[in-house]
Amino acid sequence: MVSHSKIPWGHTELEQIGGLRGRPLEVIKGPITGLPIPAHAEIAIEGEVPPPKEEARDEGPFGEWPGYYSGGTIGTGEPQPVIRVKAIYYRNNPIIHGDAPMWPGARRGGLSGGAGRGGVADLARAGIQDVVAVGNHMGYIRVVAIKQRYPGHAQQAARAVASVTRNGRWIVIVDEDIDPTNFSEVLWAMTTRAEPAKDIEILRNCWSTPLDPLMPPDKRDSGDHTNSLAVFYAVRPFHRRDIFPKVSRSPQDLRMKMVEKYKSILPFPDL
């Protein structure tokens, strides 16, 4: 899960997984390269990756995370790096983990958005106060729940998210009572707290990649890998948040207590 997570420059996946587990990851020294290999990996490949100018090959397209066949040479217009395999190690009857063909509606086994770019830690480092939680939905949608502290707080949070978001399409800012990982709650906030005429903002020339299925061929070929982002401010208007209509459902902690108490006899839906 950590191997495809985005982590800050200068840190390694081995450090990240050690922090998540609360103890160092057991590794062995690769006999060929001397690089660390997770001791309990199912499959490990050692080899050399020469500079692309020395050796490269056409490859792809692949079933990529947007849900379309793209990437590889067809995505960048350039041959891709190769690995000169020197050794392969594997457990008996190894289990191969993967997301092929990576259709975004399928269940995912990776880490949530809180661990990647635009997560709580990234926004805190950017100076954004009171970020409650972050949710990612199908790659192109990032939702951030904040506890509004001052006018413009939601706008500040959205711009910070945009600055560390790649391949984004929608950024949704919600209040702290909305679970950003629950898309039903997010849609409820978008339809009852965002006025389309004033609460949707378009950011242009944002960071993207050639994997974007909407990117025109001329932009892809020219290297202009940018797109636009729609920001939905699905929060109570700050200047009248205290008089905004009260939510008609019970608090989340009370709902969870009721579910725990009666789940053996009542078929509760997902809350």
Exposure on the CB side of residue 203, measured as CA atoms within 13 A: 24
d(CA 259, CA 255): 6
Helix or strand (DSSP H, E) at 254: helix 252-262
Better-predicted residue by pLDDT, 118 or 206:
206
SS3 105: coil
- Work out the burial of residue 216: count CB atoms within 10 Å of its CB; fewer than 13 is exposed, 13-18 middle, 19 or more buried: exposed
pLDDT digits (tens, 9 = 90+) for 188-205: 999 999 999 999 999 999
Instruction: Please provide the DSSP assignment of 163-176 as one string.
Output: HT-SS--EEEEEET
Which of 21-35, 80-94, 120-134 has the least mean pLDDT? 120-134
* Comparison of pLDDT for 130 and 99, the residue scoring more: 130
pTM given for the model: 0.75
Domains and CATH numbers, the chain: 2-90 (no CATH), 113-262 (3.40.1670.10)
Rounded CA gap, 150 and 158, in Å?
14
Share of the chain above pLDDT 90, in %: 44
| 205 conformational bin, left if phi > 0, alpha if psi -120 to 50, beta if neither | left
DSSP string, 184-208: HHHHHHHHHS--HHHHEEEEEEEE-
Query: What is the distance between the alpha carbons of residues 76 and 230, in angstroms, rounded to a whole number?
Result: 25
pLDDT score at 248? 87
Backbone angles phi, psi at 53, to 5 degrees: -70, -25
3-class DSSP state of 180: coil
Render pLDDT for 106-163 as a digit per residue (tens, 0 to 9). Answer: 665 555 444 445 577 778 777 888 999 998 877 789 999 999 999 999 999 999 998 8
CA distance 55 to 149: 54
The H or E element that residue 29 is part of is strand 27-29
Instruction: Give one DSSP letter per residue of 111-134, joined into a string.
Output: --GGGSTTSHHHHHHTT---EEEE
Q: What is the mean pLDDT of residues 38-61?
A: 93
